[in-house]
Structure 1
Amino acid sequence: MKTRIAVLCSTLLVVLLISGCGFQIVNGSGTVVTEERPVSDFTRVDFSGFGELTLVQGDNEALTIETDDNLLRYIETTVSGGTLTIGFAKRVWFPLLRPTHSIHYQLTVKTLNHLELSGAGTVTAALLQADNLMLVESGAAVINLADLTANVLTVDMSGTGRVDLAGAVTSQTVELSGLGSYNAGDLASQTAQIHLSGVGAATVWVREQLDADTSGAGTIRYYGSPQVNASSSGLGTVQRLGNK
């Protein structure tokens, strides 16, 4: 009985908050269209909310959005200080947008050195080259880069998201907190520094040197035969998976 009362109270509170703030559910019209947005002169991308963002590297920067025609006005895209921000208008609470199909973005970049995701979006790229690249993931977002080539890779993950990487980098530095999962067993790297806090998990492929630090109950797994400097201040573990 107490549990049912608590659930009812929580539901009522959400309804009151939504009503009090003027939020309303916006259903997609069912008429799916593609719109081009003008973008230029950016090397950083900040993607929030939800939807599927496909990255393509090319000579001409471009952005297209595919969704219900009545939802386009709620999607904001701006470029400021070299950062392209893709998100939803402040006047709408994005969980109340109900597209008939997943919102799809296709973004062509010349150079990308910073990619940040928050919310529940997904970013994929078949091929990406960068000198220095930083990936920031929070919430329940997913990043999937199938063939990444970079000199220096830096990754900062929090929340329950996932990062899947393949390709080759010279060095990688990973900070993972929360329940996230970092899957880079197919990303060859010469050196790696991995710090895990919480109960997340990281898998890497390292050839020369691995610095692995765990706190909490996280797990670091690695391929290769690098020199390993491992430290743990909790129940975390560092495990070798063998050679690639």
Structure 2
Amino acid sequence: MNNRYYVIIGVLFCVIVAISGCTIPWTGSGTNGNNPPDVQGVTAASLTGPGTIIIEQGNNESIKVEGSDSDKSNLEIIKTGPSLEIISKASADVKIYLTVKDITALTISGPGIINATGKVEQLAITITGQGTVNAKDLSAQNAVVTVTGEGEALVNAVQTLVATVTGTGSIKYQGNPQVQQTVTGGGSVSKA
């Protein structure tokens, strides 16, 4: 009877955690190294540190990590609601392949790279540091791009682009959007 009580409490706890939408962390070490978290419903991705995230749109939402065992053990993936945060202390060789139905926000801090393809209505890109976001093959009706530092953003905007650069970074855009730009420092906003 005592064991049954603990099982019921354990099941209730798991249900409460699942319903609450709390943070689900994953570290690539140990036996779960090949089983990162479920990415269903993710619409925002961020990378802190070195590495490359390759994002494409698709109905079969998934994530796959490619790299050495050492790289995988130095990678933390945290899902909080629709946001996926990847914290990397791995080498620049680590690659994360992410397939999602929709992507609305890309954030990078540090020297990493995010490449994204597909078609979206709204897109927000934020770069802090030396990172690169290549979204030239991700067509966005409206895009808001902010670069602080030396980073580089390549974006494909159809209707509007709000571009802000602070520092020596750059924003290059494709398409013929209405552009509202603010540049502080030696940075630039230009048509690709």
TM-score interval, normalised by the smaller of the two chains: 0.5 to 0.7
Tell me the residue number matched to 2:115: 164
Structure 2 vs 1, CA of residues 219 and 240 (structure 1 numbering), >3 Å: closer, same or farther?
same
Question: Given the two structures, how large is their TM-score scaled by the length of structure 2?
Answer: 0.63
Asked which structure has the greater RCO (Cα within 8 Å, sep 6+), the reply is: 2
d(CA) in 1 for partners of 2:138 and 2:100? 8
| 1:125-171 Cα distance to aligned partner (Å, 9 max, x none) | 654459x95454555675554x6542x61222111111110001111
Matches of 1:104 and 1:119, distance apart in 2 = 20
The answer to whether the Cα contact below 8 Å between 1:137 and 1:161 also exists between their aligned partners in 2 is no
**1:122–1:87: structure 2 CA closer, same or farther, 3 Å change rule?**
farther
Shift of 1:173: 1.1
Q: What's the counterpart of residue 182 of structure 2?
A: 231
Aligned-residue Cα RMSD (Å) equals 3.6
- Name the % identity: 28
Question: Conserved in 2, the CA contact under 8 Å of 1:116 and 1:136?
Answer: yes
**2:185 aligns to what SS in structure 1?**
coil
Question: Residues 166 and 184 of structure 1 are in contact (CA less than 8 Å); yes or no, is this contact kept in structure 2?
Answer: yes
Q: Are residues 1:210 and 2:150 paired?
A: no
Q: 1:136 to 1:107 in 2, by over 3 A?
A: closer
User: Matches of 1:188 and 1:86 in 2, distance apart?
Assistant: 31
> 2:109 touches 2:127 (CA, 8 Å); kept in 1?
yes
Task: Verify the 8 A CA contact 1:42 1:82 in the aligned structure 2.
Answer: yes
Correspondence 1:110 to 2:27: no
Residue type of the alignment partner of 1:179: Q
Q: Where does structure 2 lack aligned partners over 5 or more consecutive residues? A: 1-13, 62-80
CA distance in 2, matches of 1:128, 1:184: 16
| Distance change in 2, residues 1:204/1:42 (3 Å) | farther
Is contact 1:199–1:219 with CA below 8 Å preserved after alignment? yes
In structure 1, give the amino acid aligned to 2:23.
T
Is contact 1:142–1:162 with CA below 8 Å preserved after alignment?
Answer: no
Pairwise CA distance, 1:118: 4.4
TM-score by length of 1: 0.51
Paired residues of 1:169 and 1:189 also in contact (CA < 8 A): yes
Q: What amino acid is the match of 2:22?
A: G
- Alpha-carbon spacing, 1:175–1:227, altered in 2? closer, same or farther (3 Å): same
Cα contact 2:43–2:83 (8 A) shared by 1: yes
Higher Cα radius of gyration: 1
- How many residues get paired? 152
**CA 1:117 to 1:210, structure 2 compared with 1: closer, same or farther past 3 Å?**
closer
After superposition, the Cα gap between the structure-2 partners of 1:125 and 1:176, relative to the gap in structure 1 and judged at 3 Å, is closer
Q: Following superposition of structure 1 onto structure 2, how do residues 39-54 of structure 1 map, counting pairs within 5 Å?
A: none
Q: Which residue of 1 aligns with 2:27?
A: 87
3-state DSSP class of the match of 1:177?
A: strand
